[in-house]
Amino acid sequence: MNYFNYFTEIEDTFVRRRGKHLLLSPIDWAIIEGWQERGIPLHIVIRGIETVFDGFEKKPGPRSIKGLLYCREEIEAQFQEWLESQTGKADGVDVLSENTIEEISNGINAANEALRQCDIDALREDIERVIDRLSELQDHLSPDLQSVDGSLLDIEKILDQTLLTKTDKAHLTKVEKDIIAELKPYKKGMDAAAYSSTFQLMLLKRLREDAGIPRLSLFYLL
């Protein structure tokens, strides 16, 4: 599932349960991006939002639910329960099932195929390097959840750095200006760290979409 669908489904669910039209803020967007990067499946996020609103309707609080931050604790708790259901334990280590390992392998095949479709010459060398790294990981997939997740994150960082340093400068500048304009109405209400993090997340999202670069977290491979 791509980011647009992930974002849209979450937004639609939140707005429907909120009971009135409410645009999500860049802070909400950054929270969604964080869930996505951590590999939280869409159905877990949707179920968490529904659970929070169901509980609120049974026992309304003094404040209304204005943003996704209110739902974060429930969603992360349900994600941990889901992870435990997907893995076994061996000497205290989360162990992936054989079926899950096969799903990850299939996901790597799909990611590599998407990477081969990128026709931006400036990115090609690093993309080939990433394809080689993914193929090597695929050939030696460990049942250790943390090991696989960490390896995927390391490989994705190569792509992120490539997009930030080798994207056409004129295009990069345009994207940066567009994001600055999008965040302008919210900047005064954000501290410097939150603004910087949100800007970086939005920038990488746009660069990935423009280049057709897939994400590599377990969320996308399972």
pLDDT band of 101, cuts 50, 70, 90: confident
Query: What is the model's pLDDT at position 21?
Result: 64
Its pTM surpasses 0.85: no
Query: What is the model's pLDDT at position 62?
Result: 65
Residue bearing the bigger pLDDT, 3 or 118 = 118
Q: Do residues 32 and 67 make contact, with C-beta atoms less than 8 angstroms apart?
A: no
Q: What is the dihedral of CA 210, 212, 217, 218, to 10 degrees?
A: 140
Task: Give domain limits for the chain.
Answer: 3-86, 91-221
Query: pLDDT tens for residues 183-212?
Result: 888 787 777 877 888 888 889 989 999 999
Q: Please, what is the average pLDDT of the chain?
A: 85
Query: pLDDT tens for residues 61-70?
Result: 666 787 888 8
Query: pLDDT tens for residues 69-99?
Result: 888 889 988 888 887 776 555 555 567 778 8
